[in-house]
Amino acid sequence: MKRNWELIRKILFKLALTSLDNGGIKGFPPAVVEYHYLLLKQSQLIDSQHKLTWQGHEFLDKIRNDTAWNKIKQTIKTKGIDLSFEAIKLAGKSLLFSLLK
């Protein structure tokens, strides 16, 4: 199954609002959502109770804003790099540094 960053972002938004999890994300099959929860646990962005970890909050803060998220994706695409967790973190950090200058 392929990783879907838009779904990951939706799950993180959902969990930032509530730790109660009804499991579903509108527009995505339950098996796909379940797989992405597993990926988020493996990357330590959420814990076993489906709550955001500190690292999860930090990552979400980098991709929360739609403009920043789109710029991160475009930067990675322009460089010809696959949209990976590390690439997103680095592009988000780079964007933050450029905004703070």
Phi-psi region of 80 (alpha: psi -120 to 50; beta: other; left: phi over 0): left
> Which residues, given as ranges, of the chain have pLDDT below 70?
19-23
Q: What is the pLDDT of residues 91-100, one digit of tens each?
A: 988 988 888 8
Q: Check residue 70 and give its pLDDT.
A: 94
pLDDT score at 1: 87
Give the DSSP per-residue string, 12-62: HHHHHH-S------TTS-HHHHHHHHHHHHHTTSB-TTS-B-HHHHHHHHH
pTM: 0.86
pLDDT at 20: 58
